[in-house]
Amino acid sequence: MNAREASHQPGRLESLEFTNSFAGLPDAFYTRLDPLGLPEPYMVCASRDVAELIGLDPGEMQRPEFTEIFAGNVLPPGSDALAAVYSGHQFGIWAGQLGDGRAHLLGGLRSPHGHWEIQLKGAGRTPYSRGADGRAVLRSSIREFLCSEAMAGLGIPTTRALSVVGADLPVRREEIESAAVVARVAPSFVRFGSFEHWAADGRGEELRLLADYVIDSFRPECRAEANAYAALLADVSRRTGELIARWMAVGFMHGVMNTDNMSILGLTLDYGPFGFMEAFDAGHICNHSDHQGRYTYRNQPHVAQWNLYRLAEAFRPLVGDRAAVRAVVDAHYGDAFEMHFEKLMCAKLGLRAALPGDEDFIGETFGLLQQQRPDFTQFFRALAHMPAVAATDAVDREKPAKIDDLLRDQFVDRAACDAWLARWRARLAQTPWDDGTRQAAMCAASPKYVLRNWLAEGAIRKAQDGDFSEVGRLLACLRHPCDEQPEFAHYAALPPDWASGLEVSCSS
């Protein structure tokens, strides 16, 4: 094999053939412009899983050319870089025109695993930057990289992250930080706000073109329905309901559920001030910028429905009057969320088959969590190890067996825990199965590891000192969040004292 043949082997950087289907839409949908790269870039982290997803040999991530491409310094063949326009509601208020203020869509790749678009976030100003510098910082880029891959490990629909490339380029936020570019990967980055943009301006033809693009590219099955646009609205309503159920079941809080941060494909999109629930509080606000508490944990299902109603309003020219489009949302979102959430919670509780009254028991469980405030992830993981039949201490028959202390130690009021455990065991007895099989199923539904803020912060602090090893270790752990992984057991711990003052905001 000669050098020319080797350079075009499948999986090589040189073999990647970019196209940009979004660029086939009229010019009003975007601005064509090249990314502004990074001076003297260096690799911070990269995901082997995502490299394989897009058809790239993971070994290629070690090449200097990889760093140059995903820093935005070199455009790959076939790339037609652009920044897309969209609008949206932010914190419940119409914000008007927004758009990719610091993101450049390089184009798409087709691999054995499907079609994937690659977007560089932090690659400089665009016409939609609204006076900002168009840069991302190392801190926020690492957070997005790790959470994208953590959510994928949890089985939650999400955009992915291929890499983070850094540079010693100063960027001013609350303080001076260093610049970075994260390469985001998804089938599409079209948002609810992409449709709102055209509807708000009364641009019906552009609205139809965008809907046709999404249907023909990603949801061709909608064409079989009487109204393909109503079918698309139904599809995104259902997928959004299932997505939010998955968030709630693992204690994930997005933090900024604006309509411009909601994916038309039902993916988790735009990782900024996210958080995973620790000491349980349904009213927890993970975003320090959310002064009114709009995006608390408990509000996420309601906000998602509100956002879908805004999308439905945009679909009115394609579907019908306000009543008709709201009916589509109502017919698909609520049931999808409730059915999926109950299914996920039954799995976490080890209920072999659903019974009438399970919804009430799930509500009772969350009531206990709210009252007692145990760590959300640790509570369900410890529960997964509990025996179905109560045992007593070998010496003192009045005391529960030591195994129950895995759960009881999380409660100030142990009697409340004991009472709930008794009800849980009574419910298990109604649909019994052997402990080993049940416990394995519960562990598969209740992760041991989530991306706690203190874990991300620890990796960020080391990275800011030039040590990127902790990012790699976290990535390795979070790929398999439900496995025991004893070498990473410290990642399942409660936050250390130094993390008590951590806050994340829209600049995170």
Mention every residue, 6+ apart, whose C-beta is less than 8 A from residue 359: 342
Beta-bridged to residue 177, according to DSSP, are 171
Side chain identity at 275, as an amino acid letter? G
The answer for residues whose C-beta is within 8 angstroms of residue 434's C-beta and 6 or more apart is none
Contact 192/312 with Cβ under 8 angstroms? no
Helices (runs of H) and strands (runs of E) counted in the chain: 17, 12
Got the DSSP string for 396-435? Answer: -TTSBPGGGHHHHTT-S-HHHHHHHHHHHHHHHHHS---H
Integer CA distances (angstroms), 450 to 148, 152, 167, 184, 365, in order: 12, 11, 28, 20, 21
Which residues pair with residue 137 across a beta bridge? 179
Q: In Å, how far from its chain's centre is CA 9?
A: 33
Nearest to residue 280, comparing CAs of 404, 366, 363, 347?
Answer: 366
Enumerate the β-bridge partners of residue 400. 392
Residue type at 168 in one-letter notation: D
Q: How many residues does the structure list for the chain?
A: 508
Torsion angle of C-alpha atoms 21, 67, 271, 100, degrees rounded to 10: -50
How many other C-beta atoms are found inside a 10 Å radius of the C-beta of residue 148?
A: 25
Cα-trace Rg, the chain? 24
Q: How many CB atoms lie within 10 A of CB 424?
A: 20
SS3 of residue 151 by DSSP: helix
**Residue that has been written with the tokens 């996420």 in this structure:** 300
Backbone angles phi and psi of 291, in degrees to 5: -70, -25
> Which residues have CB under 8 Å from 87's CB, separation 6+?
94, 95, 96, 97, 98, 193, 196, 197, 200, 260
The residue from 100, 235, 260, 290 that is catalytic is 260
Question: For this structure, is 260 an active site residue?
Answer: yes
Pairwise CA distance, residues 444 & 440, whole Å: 6
CA atoms in the 13 A half-sphere facing the CB of 345? 24
Specify whether the CB–CB gap between 242 and 340 falls below 8 A.
yes
Give the active site residues: 260
